[in-house]
Amino acid sequence: METNALTMPHVEAVLHEYAETVRDLYKEKLVEADRLASEDLYNSVEAQVVVNGTEYLVQVRALDYWKYVEWDTKPHWPPVQALLRWVRVKPVLPRSGGSVPRPEQLAYLIGRKIAREGTKGSHDLALASTETNRRFRDAITEALAQDAQQFVTVWIHQYMHI
């Protein structure tokens, strides 16, 4: 059984499932939290396993503004164009008896609130990661054990001539 002793095929296979799961859970949580105004963020979510020698990394990628959706922000003036785009795709309903402000007015009002209070993040990716970690803890441990056993077996056969 001639095998590269540094490969971890069992771990890599489990991590591919892990990447798909964290991607899918993140997308589910974006739906549940109603973070679908333009669906751009939802459609941009990808996950992959990157192998660099003995390092295995699960990467989740999305449009750059994911971090503003994910994490709380301090008070700041957000980009006006981003707010205008958002208010054009997000349905805005007037409060009882009120009228709907023009997109520019609404963007200003939202921007002013963010400038005063910041934003509350959804933490959807953090929740998806925590859930995926819980689900895969045992599978990763088992895959590591299988790959370690395979490594030791190959090493013994190659170097101990058994």
* Distance separating alpha carbons of residues 150 and 133, to the nearest angstrom: 24
Q: pTM for this one?
A: 0.82
**% pLDDT > 90, the chain:** 63
- Cβ atoms of 83 and 33 within 8 Å: the answer is no
β-pair partners for 162: none
pLDDT at residue 32, as a whole number:
93
| pLDDT tens digit sequence for 66-100 | 999 999 999 999 999 989 988 888 877 666 666 77
Residue 100's nearest CA partner among 85, 87, 113 is 87
pLDDT at residue 93, as a whole number:
67
Range among 80-84, 101-105, 153-157 rated most confident: 80-84
Q: Is the pLDDT of residue 3 over 50?
A: no
Task: Assign 60 to helix, strand or coil.
Answer: strand
Q: Is the pLDDT of residue 24 over 90?
A: yes
